[in-house]
Amino acid sequence: MTARLYAAADGGNSKTDVVVGDSDGRVLARVTGPTISPHVLTFDGALAGLSALVARARAEAALPAAIELSHLAVYTAGADLPVEVDRLNAGVSALALAATTTVDNDLFALLRAGSATPDAVGVVCGAGINAAGRRADGATSRFPALGQLSGDWGGGHHLAALALYHAVRAEDGRGPATALEPAVRAHFGRPTVEAVAVALHLGELPAARLEELCEVVFEVAAAGDDLASRVVRRLADEIESLVRVSATRLGLLREPYTIVLGGGVLTARRPMLHDDLLARLHALSPGATVTVLSSPPVAGAALLALDHLHGGACPPALESAVRAAL
């Protein structure tokens, strides 16, 4: 039987990876480009960006135009609400890039990249924070992930903003003393924290540089600062809560299941956060296995495409080949 072809996309808030492969487990091409999140772009812009990246991946794989993709699996940030997922599914299907399509939130690619176990909960903590879960019978758990509008707390951008917030208040006397104050000054080479805030406001410092302060929070906390340590513990509280709620919704809390931790803040395995989380999650769900993502999320998107092509379960040998290739 001739191998069938697929394309798989993992779209984050800053970049998108697209893979083209076949049903025999070969990866034929991989390209990286800008985000396709409809929260960052317009809806039409997201579709156009996806089309362009799939075309690039096809070209890199040297696929003639006449050869059809059997399946296109797209997992992207910005597919949070059911109405958004439905609209994206319809839009991607209408592009006619493949015979069949699947579109969902990028957390499900992260989950598949982290574990083949059907019962699993994943938390991503990168620039933002979110969680999702799946159960063997197809049930899922998810959050709206609309930032403060939906009660979210945490993520690298939030921690960075808190570092500046607490440093400013420590400097002018509105808040408690913290080593974040001199650390923020030193990081940006400015005489005061207020000068840092003003430089960010006026554009003298690029706004994107604020995110560098996430690392500063962890450095200051590791050195023993009480306020920075409380911020890190508060993040651990939030991640534990996301897992608890997700697992409870799916009836998994006291069952064997996999917890996948992903995103740059968690894959860094900073001891103050990582060790605390492992202890908390073991106490929360003694039967759960905790894993830190080591495969790129696009591997999960590719495996989900292969699951589709193989009737729901990619053969283990093919899964190993895809993971090795990516």
Phi, psi of 24, rounded to the nearest 5 degrees: -90, 5
Taking a C-beta distance cutoff of 8 angstroms, is the pair 184, 216 a contact? yes
pLDDT at position 1 = 57
CA distance 201 to 291: 40
Tokens of residue 68, six digits: 């059809």
In a domain, 62, yes or no: yes
Tokens of residue 46, six digits: 């997201």
In a domain, 69, yes or no: yes
List, in sequence order, every residue forming a beta bridge with 100; answer none if it has no partner: 71
CA distance 305 to 293: 19
- Chain position carrying tokens 């156009």: 48
pLDDT at position 52 = 96
In a domain, 42, yes or no: yes
pLDDT at position 147 = 83
Taking a C-beta distance cutoff of 8 angstroms, is the pair 186, 215 a contact? no
pLDDT at position 143 = 93
In a domain, 306, yes or no: yes
In a domain, 139, yes or no: no
In a domain, 229, yes or no: no
For the chain, the residue count is 326
The string of pLDDT tens digits covering residues 81-107 is: 899 999 999 999 999 999 999 999 999
In a domain, 213, yes or no: no
Q: Which residues of the chain have pLDDT under 70?
A: 1
In a domain, 315, yes or no: yes
pLDDT at position 150 = 87
Quote the pTM value.
Answer: 0.90
- CATH number for position 14: 3.30.420.40
pLDDT at position 139 = 94
Q: Look up the domain containing 311 and give its range.
A: 5-115+295-325
pLDDT at position 178 = 98
Per-residue three-class SS string for the chain:
CCCCEEEEEEECCCEEEEEEEECCCCEEEEEEEECCCCCCCCHHHHHHHHHHHHHHHHHHCCCCCCCCEEEEEEEECCCCCHHHHHHHHHHHHHCCCEEEEEEEEHHHHHHHHHCCCCCEEEEEECCCEEEEEECCCCCEEECCCCHHHHCCCCCHHHHHHHHHHHHHHHHHCCCCCCCHHHHHHHHHCCCCHHHHHHHHHHCCCCHHHHHHHHHHHHHHHHCCCHHHHHHHHHHHHHHHHHHHHHHHHCCCCCCCCEEEEECHHHHCCCHHHHHHHHHHHHHHCCCCEEEECCCCHHHHHHHHHHHHHCCCCCCHHHHHHHHHHC
Strand 140-142 to strand 129-134: parallel, antiparallel, or no bridges (unpaired)?
antiparallel
- Chain position carrying tokens 């554009």: 203
Domain count, the chain: 1
